Chain A
Amino acid sequence: MNKQERFWIEVSRDHFTAYLHVSPDAGDDVAVKEVLERAREMGIVHGIKDDEKIQSFLDNIELYDYVFIIASGKPFTLGEDARIVFNFECDPRAVLEAEAGPSEDIDFRQIGAITSVNQGDVVAKRIPATQGEGGMTIFGQKLPGEWGTDITIEAGENVELADDKDYIAKIGGAPFVSGGVIRVDPVTVIDGNVDYGTGNIEFAGTVVIKGSIMDGFDVRAGGDIIVENTIQMANVHAGGDVVVKRGILTRGKGAVVSSDGSVYARFIENSTVEAEGNVVVETAIMNSDVRANGSVVALNREGAIIGGQTLAFDRVAARVLGSTAHPKTYVQAGYRHDVQKKYLETLGRLGAISKELAKVKKDYDHVSKTSNDFDKLGELRTAAHKLLKAQKEIQSDLAEIGATRIFNHLALVDVEDVAYPGATVLIGEGRYIVRKETKYASFKWDSEAKNSYLASFDEAGKELRTTKPGRGNSVLIIDDSKAVRKTLKLILEKIGMRVAGEAEDGEEGVEQYRQLRPSIVTLDIAMVRMDGIETLREIRKINSNAKVIMISSIRDRRKVLDCVMAGSLDYILKPFVPKKVIATVRSALQS
């Protein structure tokens, strides 16, 4: 386009919008006919505004700020995603699995509800994805509609999939969805406690216990174990999930509650709990040994991990870590608990052998310097030889286990409210000792420094800041409202980001971007002189990979799509809450 001209037409990169720019000097000089002729020359054939609208713009170019959308394409639409419709009341655990992890929105009253189906019933149906409506660019190019995302769940035990859509029960029993698999378990119900009246329980399907599992008893099930009351000092193992409507209190006497799925409980106290999946608790985990190859989560309102040790492969998340009494609370993330247990046990054995070997060597030195008793020396040499052989074998075992001891670099420990002194957080081999009350703490792994670090909102103390300062955490705030700039600045600084600069209009913002090159920009859509979309375009001319988050009033939300098409990464609607800002910025930094 030649800006010396009286008018020119600019086409968006995606060919969906054509903007008519009129030079302020053009005055009343531009005619609709000319504009349409120019559009035709450019090949614009679809979505052109009618003459009246164009004329209205030409008559009031000042009001429109000299720019007018003269043609709009028809965007293609996204079809419906495939979905699974369950013909039974789904336990909230199914929702948690679908969302790839537990959250704080669990209603524990609903977990563990049992429904039943008959043989031959269709327990679920798969509704396939559809294709959206086609679109057209302003140049007349047709674009096909996009297909929705496909989804499927596996037909598990006692379920068959017919015609790629109907999940049919092969037996009568209770349907469950867990880990992306739908199955039907035969169910046995114990009316009351597992005690001397029932004896130990072993069952291939799902066991529902209307009372508690009392001291000294064992329950093993191939499916889920659902307990309406508590688990006392009992050994419990489920091939599916363990769901305990009240608490687990094995009181640390060698009893273990374990599952090949996940464990859900209102609370866990003085107990050992192991899960191949997640451990999810409504209130607190206290003085317990809890291990999960997924996540350990205590995020409901009273969620806390106090005392004991907690290990997860993916994530440990709690509202509170430790307490005001500063009990020793160990939390580790990044290793599978079964592998870590074997590793630590083997390490322990190696340590014991090494200690014994050191003692034998010391005795040998002492005897050879004092009595020089050959028989005694002979015995000590034989003992040392055996210990050395055992030491070599254990070292070899350790190397083998080490090869399977995969460290999850993305593991983290999140504390939503406060971590108290007395808590120690380990991510991989990195250790962080909490020395003062720390709010909104997130412990992560720094792959470069090969150590864990804390990203915290607490401004007290330098060591609480993220150890990764610099451009990766800098932000430029562009907004014509001082109050909005100030609020955003406060939020972002609290999560350890550096506000590189602030600008109150688009032109200033572009100039600051050019100089500062922050990694994130927050940009108001509605500004004078140069609006958000224009500013976004100018910034992307400087850096096509610029990460820009649009800040939009809810009244301007229709402009958000324009912004996304113009290249913004994400958006935040005003009035915003800190959580939304933090989540959006973090997501943008990681993208």
Chain B
Amino acid sequence: MSRENFFTAEEIRKLRRVTLDELRELTGDLDSLLRRLREPAEAGAAAERLGRIFHTIGGSAALVGFEGISDAGCELESLMEDSIRKKSFDPGTIDRIADLAGNLKRQIAEKETAEG
């Protein structure tokens, strides 16, 4: 019983709408959090918050078939976990996270356009 057989088309559309709203809300603070990641005093808390955001994105996007967004969320979550574990937020890693986060936001925007 796949999602497509179980839910009606309208229900899938509504679930995707709710998910996209949530994704938009979650990624609203990304830029500010990424800036705080570059501040040693605030990096720990910002990293924790970012890890949670990416974890939630990875899980909820996959539920409605947004595999690309889910994969991006999971990859970012992994990067955050590594950095937290090493307690290291070097500029190179932060830049990479920022790039991937930008890509993630673009994918979400594209999905919003596609879903109407």
Contact = CB atoms under 8 A, between A and B. Distances in A.
B19 to A, nearest CB: 4
Interface in B1-42: 1-3, 6-7, 11, 15, 18-19, 21-22
Nearest to A481: B60
Q: How large is the interface on A (under 10, 10 to 19, 20 to 34, 35 or more residues)?
A: 20 to 34
A63 B77 CA distance: 16
Nearest to B6: A578
Nearest to B20: A483
Contact of A553 (B1, B19, B55, B87): B55
Interface in A487-502: 487, 490-491, 494
A340 to B, nearest CB: 32
Interface residues of B, number: 28
B98 interface: no
- Where chain B touches its partner, the secondary structure class is helix
Contact of B63 (A63, A480, A483, A528): A483
B94 interface: no
B55 A526 contact: yes
Nearest to B11: A490
Interface string A58-85: 0010110000000000000000000000
Given A483-B15, A579-B1, A62 B45 contact: yes
Interface string A574-589: 1111110010000000
B56 A480 contact: yes
B62 interface: yes
B18 A578 contact: no
Contacts of A481: 22, 56, 59-60
A486, A494, A553, A574 interface centre (most CB from chain B within 10 Å): A486
Interface string B83-100: 010010000000000000
Interface of B: 1-3, 6-7, 11, 15, 18-19, 21-22, 44-45, 48, 52, 55-56, 58-60, 62-64, 70, 74, 77, 84, 87
Cβ-closest 5 pairs across A and B: A575-B62, A579-B1, A483-B60, A483-B19, A578-B6
Given A487-B64, A582-B1, 12 more contacts: A60-B44, A63-B84, A483-B64, A487-B15, A528-B52, A553-B55, A555-B58, A555-B77, A576-B63, A577-B2, A578-B6, A579-B1
